[in-house]
Amino acid sequence: MKRIAVLTSGGDGPGLNACIRAATRMAIQLGAEVLGVRRGYTGLINGDVVELDRRAVGGVMGYGGTFLGTARCPEFYTEKGRREALRTLNRLDVDGLIVIGGNGSLTGALELHRMGFPVVGVPATIDNDVNGTDIAIGVDTALNTILDAIDRIKDTASSHNRAFLIETMGRDCGYLALVSAIAGGAELALIPEVETPLEEVARVIGDAYVRGKAHCIIVVAEGWKPGTRALIDYLNSCREELGFEIRLTVLGHIQRGGRPSAFDRLLATRLGAAAAQALFRGERGVMVGWRHDRAVTVPLEEAVAYRKEINRELWELAAVMEL
């Protein structure tokens, strides 16, 4: 393998730079040249690439975001777009590609593999919904960011005797909301995977008030139905029974940024390096995942077959802790 390319695609998160750096340095160590593709699959179609040597990836470890840029690329959903991407890869004499991203990006990688191109994927998404890996790059830092916000909000909530709804990211997956609710000592988590009636939320808030708690914290995943807006309207309609005043904080894109945690830097370094090694070993159409404290390879087909489900044990644990 003489020349490989690496790209970051889809939603960003902390640890992507560390992963690009590790994949680059390991590939160089194994004797290849490395091209960085800018803006994900868009750059692959347009041939927007930059040469990466050991020094080009120096000093990036501690920064969030991705210095290569990322994008959502509608053309790549089409056969025509993917053929253009293959044409670019051939024109640039690239023998293998490392794709760092979430479920969508890894599905794109699988499509390229099916067209015969050597691809290895690395799971990076703050949602932690990629199958075949215990955890994805970015999750740990995002959780820590949410916990920091919960701690701060608890301070002000206690001072004013308020109940706070804290909305986290997670359109289809409640992992961030559930785990941050447990680790942040919240009263309740509302996640897309579990139906919780509005009356039950009001009951939890009312109970917390009656038991003399200084605040009530409810972590809501953005994908929970019927959604925070509807919940606020409902809670305002039964305000008298709650005791607490209600406030909402939407954390939004704050969760995607920031300096990667020690865990994410190490995970990204190990997975990025393992991805380059897998390409050189001749593994094709696989994702490098993290299982039982080591890097493993999983067929991309399996990784994207369905979204990782929420761990029921965690849900049950939350129910006990939130009492």
Contacting residues toward ligand ADP, per CB under 6 A: 9-11, 41, 72-73, 76-77, 101-105, 107-108, 111, 125
Query: In angstroms, rounded to a whole number, what is the distance separating the alpha carbons of residues 166 and 172?
Result: 17
Question: Who contacts 323 (Cβ-Cβ below 8 Å, separation ≥6)?
Answer: none
Q: In what order do the strands lie in the sheet with 188-190?
A: 188-190, 216-221, 162-168, 245-250
Q: By C-beta, is 171 or 281 nearer to ligand ADP?
A: 171
Exposure string of 27-50, with b = 16+ CB inside 10 Å and e = fewer, is bbeeebbbbbbbbbbbbbbbbbbe
Residue 6 Cβ, how far from ligand ADP at the closest point, in Å? 15
Q: Tell me whether the omega of the peptide bond preceding residue 197 falls within 30 degrees of 0, making it cis.
A: no
Residue 170 Cβ, how far from ligand ADP at the closest point, in Å? 13
Query: In angstroms, rounded to a whole number, what is the distance separating the alpha carbons of residues 225 and 232?
Result: 13
Residue 56 Cβ, how far from ligand ADP at the closest point, in Å? 24
Catalytic-role residue among 48, 53, 93, 127: 127
Q: By C-beta, is 9 or 168 nearer to ligand ADP?
A: 9
Residue 256 Cβ, how far from ligand ADP at the closest point, in Å? 11
Exposure string of 106-136, with b = 16+ CB inside 10 Å and e = fewer, is bbbbbbbbeeebbbbbbbbbbbbbbbbbebb
Q: By C-beta, is 72 or 284 nearer to ligand ADP?
A: 72
Let me know if 127 is a catalytic residue.
yes
Query: In angstroms, rounded to a whole number, what is the distance separating the alpha carbons of residues 61 and 165?
Result: 34
Residue 41 Cβ, how far from ligand ADP at the closest point, in Å? 4
Residue 97 exposure: Cα atoms within 13 Å on the Cβ side: 33
Q: By C-beta, is 10 or 36 nearer to ligand ADP?
A: 10
Q: By C-beta, is 35 or 85 nearer to ligand ADP?
A: 85
Question: Who contacts 127 (Cβ-Cβ below 8 Å, separation ≥6)?
Answer: 11, 102, 136, 139, 169, 170, 172, 173, 175, 176
Q: By C-beta, is 32 or 110 nearer to ligand ADP?
A: 110
For residue 197, the tally of other CB atoms under 10 A from its CB is 9
Q: By C-beta, is 104 or 174 nearer to ligand ADP?
A: 104
Specify which residues 298 forms β-bridges with.
287
User: What is the DSSP-derived secondary structure letter of residue 259?
Assistant: P
Residue 147's region, left for phi above 0, alpha for psi from -120 to 50, else beta, is: alpha
What amino acid positions are annotated as catalytic residues?
127
